[in-house]
Amino acid sequence: MNKQILIVEDENDCAELLSYHLQKESYQTVIARNGEEAIDAVQCHAPDAILLDVMMPELNGWEVCRILRESTKGKSLPIIMLSALSDEEARVKGLSLGADDYVSKPYSMQELLLKVRKHIDRQEAIKLLRTKGREQETSLRYLLHEIRNSMTVIGGFSSLALKKENPRTYLKPIQTAAALAESLLNDAALLSRLEEAGGSLPAEVIDLGATAREAADLFHQVAKKRRIAFVVMESAGPSPVRANKTAARQVLVNVLSNAVKYSREGGRVWIYFHQRDDLASVSIRDEGNGIGPDDLPRIFEKFYRAPGSERVKGEGLGLYIVKLLTGAMGGTITVKSVPGAGSTFTVSFMKVDAVALHSEQDVA
């Protein structure tokens, strides 16, 4: 997989020229035209290095560097600052904010490419060492890390909003980070509850259809932004099942979040309901790249991400949590996927009347 470089540059010609030279060296490139786009791109594209122009209106390169360094995603990302400010003070400021390198404009393209290569190779070696440590990490600790990352983004952008004349610009990333933090907190709360109570969750009667529609409502905004159409097929009638409402909602949120994340722009996500025998189910189908047969049995493993998913923001924990939660509620999750055509995840629970028939106890 080619390494990806994020170019943060408000001057079109400079950005295009850099992109051209980097692509000639087989790098993939993403261009951000301002500081806010840069922070967004680091969260969404997980680049391998960033070329960061200092002089930009609103959020300048120094501020971007500071925010990135305080976030989990940007903490160890190689940052090479580019600036026409050649004096020592500017260079020292960049490096003291945590940049890895500083290049003065006009720069020699060859020198810049060498620096990019050097930092990417170094990063690769560090990543290899870290993979080992990460396998030992508990899901809860990892989720807490991620929540802290969102809080840093919220804190960073709120301080900026307080200082700037046009604070509205900063509300969007604050809103996105707050929604993510809320979802992660739900994951964390449910996980710790499972651990404390030895794998059980209090059960109640919930309407699966209504819970799925509620979860889907959270994604309309982000889906619209990426021109993804949500097609919610009405269920034939109420589908009462015995489950835990918060956990069932979180299961559906995690699956829907993947359907949107792994969809192509302009794709569709279908949500449909079906009942057979004792089971009530909701299926979520997307038209994304699908999952290969070798990866399919592994996607519910802790921290597993199929090759090619690196460009999509994720930690490989969502489906692991989904599997734990559905299991604790006596439900099931299944997946079918056709590489290149899309995936369908189906979440099923026993219908309430069926539960009574089988004289089931609480799922606890």
CB of 250 or CB of 309, closer to ligand ADP:
309
Span from 39-47, 142-150, 242-250, 297-305 in contact with ligand ADP (CB under 6 A):
297-305
Output the smallest distance, CB 135 to ligand ADP, in A: 15
The Cβ of residue 217 has, within 10 Å, a number of other Cβ atoms equal to 11
CB of 48 or CB of 53, closer to ligand ADP:
48
CB of 83 or CB of 150, closer to ligand ADP:
150
CB of 239 or CB of 258, closer to ligand ADP:
258
Output the smallest distance, CB 310 to ligand ADP, in A: 9
Residue nearest to ligand ADP (CB): 314
Span from 116-124, 146-154, 281-289, 354-362 in contact with ligand ADP (CB under 6 A):
281-289
167 forms part of the interface with ligand ADP (CB under 6 A): no
Q: Do the beta carbons of residue 64 and residue 52 sit within 8 Å?
A: yes
Output the smallest distance, CB 78 to ligand ADP, in A: 22
By rule CB under 6 A, what count of residues binds ligand ADP?
20
327 forms part of the interface with ligand ADP (CB under 6 A): no
Output the smallest distance, CB 316 to ligand ADP, in A: 4
Output the smallest distance, CB 335 to ligand ADP, in A: 8
For residues 252 and 258, give the distance between their C-alpha atoms in angstroms, rounded to a whole number: 10
Q: How far is CA 69 from CA 82, 110, 112, 129, 348, in A?
A: 17, 27, 22, 20, 42
139 forms part of the interface with ligand ADP (CB under 6 A): no
* Binding residues among 248-277 for ligand ADP as defined by CB under 6 A: 258-259, 262
299 forms part of the interface with ligand ADP (CB under 6 A): yes
CB of 278 or CB of 315, closer to ligand ADP:
315
Question: Tokens 């301002």 belong to which residue?
Answer: 34
42 forms part of the interface with ligand ADP (CB under 6 A): no
Output the smallest distance, CB 248 to ligand ADP, in A: 17
For residues 364 and 351, give the distance between their C-alpha atoms in angstroms, rounded to a whole number: 16
Question: Tokens 């940007």 belong to which residue?
Answer: 74
Binding-site string for ligand ADP from residue 300 to residue 319, where x marks contact by CB under 6 A and - marks none: ----xxx--x----xxxxxx
Residue choice 153, 291, 350, 363 for contact with ligand ADP (CB under 6 A): 291
Span from 68-76, 89-97, 137-145, 284-292 in contact with ligand ADP (CB under 6 A):
284-292
Span from 134-142, 187-195, 208-216, 287-295 in contact with ligand ADP (CB under 6 A):
287-295
Residue 108 phi/psi, 5-degree rounding, is: -85, 125
Which residue ranges make up the site for ligand ADP (CB under 6 A)? 258-259, 262, 286, 288-289, 291, 299, 304-306, 309, 314-320, 343
